[in-house]
Structure 1
């Protein structure tokens, strides 16, 4: 049965497409607004929203990145490259009819409450009203820089990973990459082939995971350990031992010991960073202390002259089209969203895809989409399930495993994937009452 309500989706990356598929299959009409000229989000490398460069591959393997009922082509490698990922996303959108609902080149400029719903503004004075809006504009929109600016002034070139498109930008230059996440590590490895010198600054110790163990993608190998050991601690100790034997213990290369358990931070999946450190092609450094011209001083007292600094210090969610006073904010400066997706003070607004979790795309895409479908249908019907959920979102504090992770800006958005999915399914069932 068709639901007599049209939903607006903001963002045509993987999450927006996934939500669109589930809405359509649930009989809920929708429009999906994409700022660029086609679907793909960060994988649309030729567009301003793209975050790709020639050597980029997924850090999650094919088996858990694909949606189970729409597998990637058999000839895709275990870790597809960014062009293959873009092809997959667009084929998913075509197969499930999402293109039929698309409004391209429509960057939302303002989202304003009106008559119990929201009015979207884009383009040259264009607007439309919807009773329910779902923001799916992704994790990697606005560059995030260190919370406290480093003392002094750097007079060389400064980029953020949002600007990185090719190693040619680094060719022949002395480069300092700041940031120890996956993007920073991947760009450091990429820089080796173009820069005259590569320094990599990180604030803490990290666990570096190879992409393969025993001929299998590492996440699959980990999952297949199952209940082989008597406790989580024993399992983690075994994994650390295997990584060390394989040459993936950063302390063996002079890097700091991590100050968190193996699963206490978003995993860094990189088979080459330590290899290049061991060969002297990447010089690891601690945190930056200050700048003076092109000289960078580090907290250990050392210094280096560099031509270019590339900040790989993360991203911020872009809600610039929404008056900040319309949202409730946590003490740490991020929106207070129930399940990281539902504003507690608005019943006609959802935010999907705003969460980090260690895992592939597939399970999260389906679960978030099914949640939105259940919410939209309950909202249209003003069902008892909706009322139960609205009461729960103002009262409940579900355990998403967040307190377990290291305290950093990016980990404010981190969750234990399995706890998050279980909670979303729990509340989806509530909505379907």
Structure 2
């Protein structure tokens, strides 16, 4: 039996870290939360190095499914809150559930090393303690990722990653090329037209562009309210595509390539303005880049353009600077985590919030937090539920919809939200079995 106190360390004070802390605190578990910055917020903490918010940023998921069900956003918030409202909401959530009292701010984790049955955690603030369970919530958007392999040639202009984008003023008077077709790339291409001399937008494939509103409602709400109107999923998707087309949101109508995957086969691009500005000539769409020469960018279709600044919206790499990489099992560039959260080879550390899904924060935050609570209780109690779960994580292959999505780096951790939540609830219930663990029969 471990002699360590039954205490949990959480690394990261973004929405996931706060959400996990809330459920543990309410469940009677002692928590220490370590945050590198002076306050909570994670990517929404725009004034801090960890912040990824820029001046004009609004949520791409609506208020109704971003808010935690039992802690609604203020009534006066719009359907799609801006980043300042989101930050205020996150901090009010932390305050309401006592998370501030358990936080160590300005305490970046320097090292996390195995020691006995636990982990020794050391921070830049001088904290040094061993914990029997650590929850890593340091976020997905940390180390900028660039095209790999790099495009041929050398570009002589400015290069920026979306990580460092704060305002369209950074692009003022410049000929700008935005690279990347995800939500950040599309939003910033639109933002750039306010100040840039010209805006090109390079994407490698066709995308579905979803408006933020249909029939006077946030589009995700409109989709959910379709319910079982159609007999099959295929009929539902065909109807949604036709509505988008009639509303002016079919990229092919603007000369863009058609997607070669189903409407729900990639993370949705929620943008009401990109196609509008393409249609008005404010944004010039381009295909993939063939190479650079000075300030000349050559594209795969044989065209070329002169640009002053290339802004890469090409994602982020996983980064756990405090943890020896060899302690984890890896699948390509990402850790091999059961349910995108649980190492198969380690039983006293979880990674929460490392998931993409087409949905808001609220339901996922609550479900992840309650999963961690049951895991902590089972681990500390050495229960039969823990025993069953540890066996399951080594053998089970729950369907999270993974094989349905397009083959790209970011879609390695994309999941069907409802499948993921259902499986997390199922395993959470398994962990709730509080009977003592069964002793293994001795080998004869």
TM-score, scaled to structure 2: 0.96
Structure 1 counterpart SS, 2:156 = coil
Structure 1 counterpart SS, 2:256 = coil
Residue 168 of structure 2: aligned partner: 167
Distance 1:152 1:122 in 2: 42
What does the per-residue CA deviation read over 1:256-286, in whole Å, with 9 as the maximum and x for residues that have no partner?
0001100000000000000000000000000
Distance 2:219 2:43 in 1: 24
Residue 88 of structure 2: aligned partner: 87
Distance 2:78 2:429 in 1: 36
Structure 2 counterpart SS, 1:227 = coil
Offset at residue 52 of structure 1 (A) = 0.8
Residue 396 of structure 1: aligned partner: 396
Query: Do 1:120 and 1:129's aligned partners in 2 also have CA atoms closer than 8 Å?
Result: yes
1:7-406 alignment runs, 5 A limit? 7-123=8-124, 125-330=126-331, 332-406=332-406
Query: Do 1:9 and 1:32's aligned partners in 2 also have CA atoms closer than 8 Å?
Result: yes
Structure 2 counterpart SS, 1:387 = helix
Query: Do 1:344 and 1:394's aligned partners in 2 also have CA atoms closer than 8 Å?
Result: yes
Query: Do 1:10 and 1:135's aligned partners in 2 also have CA atoms closer than 8 Å?
Result: yes
Offset at residue 134 of structure 1 (A) = 0.3
Q: Which moved more, 1:86-95 or 1:115-124?
A: 115-124
Query: Do 2:254 and 2:275's aligned partners in 1 also have CA atoms closer than 8 Å?
Result: yes
Distance 1:429 1:356 in 2: 23
Distance 2:170 2:122 in 1: 36
Q: Does 1:417 align with 2:417?
A: yes
What does the per-residue CA deviation read over 1:107-153, in whole Å, with 9 as the maximum and x for residues that have no partner?
11211101111011211654221110000011111111112110001
What does the per-residue CA deviation read over 1:5-53, in whole Å, with 9 as the maximum and x for residues that have no partner?
1100000000000000000011001100011110000000110010111
Structure 1 counterpart SS, 2:194 = coil
Query: Do 1:317 and 1:354's aligned partners in 2 also have CA atoms closer than 8 Å?
Result: no
What does the per-residue CA deviation read over 1:168-226, in whole Å, with 9 as the maximum and x for residues that have no partner?
11000000000000000000000000100000000000000000000000000000000
Distance 2:369 2:214 in 1: 32
What does the per-residue CA deviation read over 1:327-379, in whole Å, with 9 as the maximum and x for residues that have no partner?
0011x221000000000110000000000000000000000000000000000
Query: Do 1:4 and 1:28's aligned partners in 2 also have CA atoms closer than 8 Å?
Result: no
Offset at residue 4 of structure 1 (A) = 5.6
Offset at residue 287 of structure 1 (A) = 0.3
Query: Do 2:121 and 2:130's aligned partners in 1 also have CA atoms closer than 8 Å?
Result: yes
Superposed CA RMSD: 0.9
Where do 5+ consecutive residues of structure 1 fail to align? none
What does the per-residue CA deviation read over 1:82-118, in whole Å, with 9 as the maximum and x for residues that have no partner?
0000000000000000000000011112111011110
